[in-house]
Amino acid sequence: MLQTAEPESSTKTKNPPHERYLEAFRVMLQTRIFEDKLGALYRGGMIVGGVYLGRGQEAVSTACGLSLRKGDIFAPLIRDQAGRAAFGEPLLDPARTYLGSKLGPMRGRDGNIHRGRPRNGQLAMISHLGAMIPVVVGTLM
């Protein structure tokens, strides 16, 4: 049985609009700086596997992440680091994952984008995008 919750509000916070804009800008800027550093580490041979940057897509991804509330499900794509950060993923998670740390959410078993915290509503990304549809539907049921 599919249950729907009553909408609480359109945003996570009750802050005035200018504060929400500043929060979105902060997330976009942090993500851009973080991804620029990831790109430099990758080009320097410090990261194994692929690094997929979301340059130019930060605004849409951030807006999606900020519009979600606790209890919602977020199924990001490969270039949605800004959305992940806006939804609450600490930047330490992708840093630890890309660097293969056992302290990361994937415990050093995956080197890049296939990370998540399902208990927090953030699903691990599956490379075949169509395969995410039944995963999200099943999670919502």
Q: Is residue 52 part of a domain?
A: yes
Q: Tokens for 45?
A: 């041979």
Evaluate whether 53 touches 38 at the Cβ level (below 8 Å). Answer: yes
What is the CATH number for 109? 3.40.50.970
In a 3-state reduction of DSSP, which class is residue 117?
strand
Query: What is the span of the domain harbouring residue 92?
Result: 17-140
Mean pLDDT value across residues 79-92: 90
Residue 104 counted as domain residue? yes
Confidence of residue 39 (pLDDT cuts 50, 70, 90): very high
Number of structural domains (the chain) is 1
Residue 8 is assigned to a structural domain of this protein? no
pLDDT at residue 11 is higher than 60 = no
**Structure token pair of residue 47:** 């990261």
Cα angle 84-138-116, degrees, rounded to a multiple of 5: 25
Q: For residue 5, what are the contacts with CB-CB under 8 A and spacing of at least 6? A: 71
In a domain, 81, yes or no: yes
- Tokens 């519009």 belong to residue: 67
